[in-house]
Structure 1
Amino acid sequence: MEPFRHTLKDQTPLYVFVAVLFLMGVVFGALMVNALTLEQQQDLSRYLGDFFISVNEGGESFQPLTYWEVAALHLKWLGLIWLLGLSVIGLPGILILDFLKGVLIGFTVGCLVGQFTWKGLLFALVSIAPHNLVVIPALLIASVAAVSFSLGIIRSRVLLNRKGTAARPFLSYTGLTVAMALVLMAVSSFETWVTPVMMTWVTPLIAQNSL
């Protein structure tokens, strides 16, 4: 327990940096909505309106992803972070992924709120927020581990010119990534079977305005 506390204390600046980077992505994504042209906004509004009507009526165009499709999306993102953490040149890529994740969420929520105001926010709270309350921390923890591992390689091999084995840090890094993978697989079940049901609770409010 004590080593874990020391590790957490040492990595606190990294956690803060990665979290701020993600939040900057969210803000940037939300601001991107305002940059859309009038035609793009109309197309987006039409698409969202058709989507909500389809969800409300149980149309064929609303086909929730299967469990393995949802899990694969999260695991691919996690796997890419893990791979980038294995090399020094992959360090900027990890930070870019965290920023892009924030942009995607910010843009999605911004579109919903921009088009449907409080109803869009309510839909975002039931369709986007619940599983991301677990997914985002899991990915940020994996990102910090990846950045820390990559920085460890730089310090030991490049700056200090040490030739010690990297087996123990690698196993620790990989073990944490596997743990986050299990977390993501668990939350994928919620996203697969619970989130679509919650979406159908809210869509009637929005679909009425889209008819």
Structure 2
Amino acid sequence: MKGIRFNEFIKKHCRDNFLSYVIVIFFICTGVVLGIYTVLYMDDFSKQELKSYINSFLSIGKIDIPYEELFIKTFINNFMILVLIWLLGLTVIGVPFTLIISLVKGFTLGFTTVFFISEIGGKSIAIIFLTTIIPNIIYTLMLIVASVLSIQFSMSLLKDKGSWRNKLLTNIGRYTILFVIIIGITMLGVAYETFVSPNFIKLFN
């Protein structure tokens, strides 16, 4: 029964927020396209600088990996983004800023992926998929859900809903719990990126 109720909740949530999902995904895709075009029109000096960074990234497989430090740093980066989106949802002007975050995330994803492929050859596809794409699928999905929840909450603050406002603290609590769940799922991506990705890099060194 609980499984059926959860499925119904998900379906209703998607139906009620379909337009928000479309808009958020559109901004992410726009960011991806902008990232791709940025790589295509970069000057040689900038490309060389980034290629040096990539080489240092790939060399991680040849050194002792500070797993704990890497996990904390990666978690904080993702945690801060989600907390910012959560905070924006508590304001009536948070929607455009939430969409900007989605745009930037898409840009980063598109830029990184295409630059890796264009600069380090055929084996980069396997490296990117195993080390970058898999955790970023989790990050991006959670970012989409978090952004939609933030937009939904922010829009609810704008609408004149007496019963909704009377239960404001309860609604904030539910909203926060959903973000805690999102952060928990995001940690799976962080764990993969920290403990699995570096070991895949070793296979290509």
Shift of 1:4: 4.4
Q: Name the structure 2 match of 1:173.
A: 175
Q: Name the structure 2 match of 1:209.
A: none
In structure 2, stretches of 5+ residues that fail to align are: none
Shift of 1:8: 2.3
Change (3 A) 1:85 1:116: same
TM-align CA RMSD: 2.2
Q: Name the structure 2 match of 1:25.
A: 31
Q: Name the structure 1 match of 2:133.
A: 129
Alignment deviations for residues 29-87 of structure 1 (CA, whole Å, 9 cap, x no partner): 111112211222233334433543x335x147x76653222211111110010011110
* TM-score of the two chains, using structure 2 as the length reference: 0.86
Cα distance in 1 for residues equivalent to 2:165 and 2:135: 42
* TM-score of the two chains, using structure 1 as the length reference: 0.83
Cα distance in 2 for residues equivalent to 1:101 and 1:48: 19
Question: Which is further off, 78-87 or 65-74?
Answer: 65-74
- Among candidates 117, 123, 127, match of residue 119 of structure 1: 123
Question: Which is further off, 120-129 or 141-150?
Answer: 120-129
Which structure 2 residues correspond to residues 1-211 of structure 1 after superposition, within 5 A?
1=5, 2-52=8-58, 54-56=59-61, 58-59=62-63, 65-156=69-160, 164-202=166-204, 204=205
Question: Which is further off, 113-122 or 191-200?
Answer: 113-122
Alignment deviations for residues 183-205 of structure 1 (CA, whole Å, 9 cap, x no partner): 11233222211111012213x3x
Cα distance in 2 for residues equivalent to 1:200 and 1:107: 24
Cα distance in 2 for residues equivalent to 1:123 and 1:17: 31
Question: Which is further off, 116-125 or 126-135?
Answer: 116-125
**What is the aligned length?**
197
Q: 1:74 is aligned with what amino acid?
A: N
Change (3 A) 1:92 1:42: same
Cα distance in 2 for residues equivalent to 1:141 and 1:71: 18
Shift of 1:119: 2.2
In structure 1, stretches of 5+ residues that fail to align are: 205-211
